[in-house]
Amino acid sequence: MVERYGREVFEFLDNFIRVSIPYNIQLNKKVTDKVTDKVAHKVADNINPTQQKIIQLINSNSNITIEVIAEELKLNDSGVRKNIKILKEFGLLERVGSTKSGHWKVNI
């Protein structure tokens, strides 16, 4: 698989490996937009208000720390970490780089 598609098709994450195999099928834009909207609404229905606020804070500052998020939301660090873990599991949030020098990336 590496020989055919290259190493860039593999993305190694904390709990799984994502493999993105390119294809040449042209989909109707209306169909893809409808599917994207349905998936976004389904995920949005499953996140709570605290998780929505975390996403808003990270959107406004991708370098924000867990401590600052906790202070803004009046939560303890472990509460913020738990909600961030859920957002990561939904694929809505990821940490790019190290804990100290990295930044957050929102996948919406």
* CATH architecture classification, 24-106: Orthogonal Bundle (1.10)
Rounded to whole angstroms, the Cα distance separating 93 from 27 reads 27
pTM: 0.61
Per residue of the chain (108 residues), what is the pLDDT tens digit? 667 667 777 788 887 788 776 665 555 566 556 655 655 555 566 789 999 999 999 999 999 999 999 999 999 999 999 999 999 988 889 999 998 899 999 987
CA distances from 84 to 11, 15, 39, 92 (A): 20, 15, 20, 9
